[in-house]
């Protein structure tokens, strides 16, 4: 980065500061990961200079012969890895990918049925105030009392509402997803089944989570998270999808361009291709297995420290903690943990009565720390740090009145980030992470 240092020393220093931050903390937001150096190299190439609206051999601009080869390579690697007949690798991220699917198969006012955001669904699955509920009718299912999918209720709702598309695949669900059961319900009401596997794509590739390919018509995924690629997305159509609608692939291509996007980010496409190649190697399968082993081990140790885990544990890469029994809300906990060098995110929990910005829980996961090389034996140390951190802020209360809460929270934040015990934990974390270099 010598040239960057000369051209823009301010950005150079900020990049170095972020690199230092990432090295010295435990990144445990489950939707974050570390890419390989090869993926980052692909992102920083001359491919960023090209415009390539359209698709291989059907471009609007000249000079795309090499870009065509790159995009087709990414497509073929994804087809082979996920065992699907069609892939579009141009979506800029996960939300645009889901938007393109809706544009391809729905008319304005058609009905989407997805898991409520408050119960672990995604914004694009029909959440209020999003395009998915403004331009389409949204019907939301929730979890049962055991905080798992209640398929009896899902089927009842589907039979009553007759949605055009049912969405499964979630952002805060620590259990295995029964794609086969979702497929049966979708078939019963003649709906498309969209499986959004953004969080678990890498686990599916590694064989530690069932694949939706035999049961869903369309599969979307981001390419970061457990897949360890660049920020991007893919839309896949299955054999079942093409059987339901032979024009489905064409409709999705048209929804991406000219429907929603212009030129794809060719450097991103190349980096996706690199990540897909890496994911096809035996080492990646071992990685995915270790992610789940670490998550289960961490969950076990957290339960031993008295943490209330949604669904009682973890079957994938993700842990959702309800902190009500610890007498602290998720906003306070997330800031305290960050101060202590452990990065998670505040998150609502099923049946949460707290507002979204001050929810009752936190969400965390093991993809990034597993990439760094942590194993099950290290999870007791992580759990202990989390326990000590939460104990330090136990009982920090925020008023329910909005204005008072804003004022109190401002003061509490200033106290938390200067808390000596938390900063001491951060030093322990920093010394620990030095043993696990990134890349």
In degrees and rounded to multiples of 5, residue 86 shows phi and psi of -145, 140
CA atoms within 13 A on the CB side of 433: 26
Of the residues 231, 285, 388, 430, which is catalytic? 231
CA atoms within 13 A on the CB side of 222: 21
Instruction: Render 155-208 in DSSP notation, one character per residue.
Output: HHHHHHH--SEEEE--SS--S---HHHHHHHHHHTT-EEEEE-TTTHHHHHTTS
The enclosing H or E element of 68 equals helix 65-82
Residues 52, 61: contact at Cβ < 8 Å? yes
Residue given tokens 């497509």 in the structure block: 75
Of the residues 225, 326, 372, 405, which is catalytic? 225
Of the residues 222, 226, 370, 389, which is catalytic? 222
Q: Is 171 a catalytic residue?
A: no
Q: Is 222 a catalytic residue?
A: yes
Q: Is 196 a catalytic residue?
A: yes
Q: How far apart, in whole angstroms, are the C-alpha atoms of residue 90 and residue 265?
A: 7
Of the residues 34, 77, 192, 196, which is catalytic? 196
Closest CA to 340 of 376, 391, 290: 391
Give the gyration radius of the chain's Cα atoms: 22
Residues 349, 410: contact at Cβ < 8 Å? no
Q: Is 156 a catalytic residue?
A: no
Residues 255, 55: contact at Cβ < 8 Å? no
Q: How far apart, in whole angstroms, are the C-alpha atoms of residue 120 and residue 23?
A: 29
CA atoms within 13 A on the CB side of 159: 9
Of the residues 32, 53, 110, 178, which is catalytic? 53
Residues 198, 221: contact at Cβ < 8 Å? yes
Closest CA to 202 of 366, 29, 378: 366
Q: How far apart, in whole angstroms, are the C-alpha atoms of residue 88 and residue 357?
A: 35
Of the residues 24, 32, 51, 381, which is catalytic? 51
Q: How far apart, in whole angstroms, are the C-alpha atoms of residue 223 and residue 93?
A: 8
> Which are the catalytic amino acids?
51, 53, 196, 222, 225, 231
């Amino acid at each position: 980065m010598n040239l960057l240092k000369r051209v823009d020393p301010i950005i150079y220093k900020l990049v170095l500061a972020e690199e230092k931050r990432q090295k010295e903390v435990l990144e445990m937001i489950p939707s974050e990961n570390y890419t390989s150096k090869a993926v980052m190299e692909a992102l920083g190439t001359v491919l960023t200079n090209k415009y390539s609206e359209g698709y291989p051999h059907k471009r609007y601009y000249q000079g795309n012969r090499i870009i065509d080869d790159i995009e087709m390579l990414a497509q073929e690697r994804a087809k082979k890895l996920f065992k699907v007949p069609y892939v579009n690798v141009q979506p800029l991220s996960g939300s645009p990918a889901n938007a393109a699917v809706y544009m391809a198969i729905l008319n304005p006012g058609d009905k989407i049925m997805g898991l409520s955001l408050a119960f672990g669904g995604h914004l694009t699955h029909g959440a209020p105030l999003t395009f998915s509920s403004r331009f389409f009718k949204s019907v939301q299912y929730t979890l049962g009392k055991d905080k798992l999918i209640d398929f009896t209720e899902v089927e009842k709702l589907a039979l009553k509402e007759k949605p055009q598309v049912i969405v499964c695949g979630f952002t805060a669900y620590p259990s295995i997803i029964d794609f086969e059961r979702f497929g049966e319900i979708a078939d019963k009401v003649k709906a498309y089944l969209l499986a959004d596997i953004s969080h678990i794509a890498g686990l599916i590739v590694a064989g530690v989570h069932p694949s939706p390919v035999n049961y869903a018509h369309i599969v979307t995924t981001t390419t970061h998270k457990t897949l360890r690629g660049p920020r991007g997305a893919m839309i896949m159509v299955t054999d079942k999808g093409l059987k339901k609608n032979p024009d489905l692939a064409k409709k999705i291509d048209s929804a991406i361009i000219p429907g929603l996007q212009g030129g794809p980010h060719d450097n991103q496409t190349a980096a996706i291709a690199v990540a897909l190649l890496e994911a096809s190697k035996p080492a990646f399968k071992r990685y995915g297995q270790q992610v789940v082993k670490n998550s289960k081990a961490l969950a076990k140790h957290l339960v031993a420290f008295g943490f209330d885990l949604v669904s009682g544990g973890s079957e994938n890469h993700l842990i959702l903690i309800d902190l009500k029994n610890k007498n602290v809300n998720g906003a306070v906990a997330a800031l305290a943990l960050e101060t202590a060098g452990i990065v998670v995110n505040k998150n609502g929990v099923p049946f949460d009565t707290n507002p979204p910005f001050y929810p009752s829980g936190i969400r965390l996961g093991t993809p990034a720390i597993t990439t760094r090389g942590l194993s099950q034996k290290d999870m007791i140390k992580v759990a202990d740090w989390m326990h000590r951190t939460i104990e330090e802020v136990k009982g920090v209360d925020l008023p329910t009145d909005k204005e008072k809460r804003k004022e109190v929270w401002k003061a509490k934040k200033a106290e938390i980030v200067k808390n000596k015990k938390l900063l001491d934990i951060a030093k322990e974390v920093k010394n620990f992470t030095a043993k696990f270099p990134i890349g």
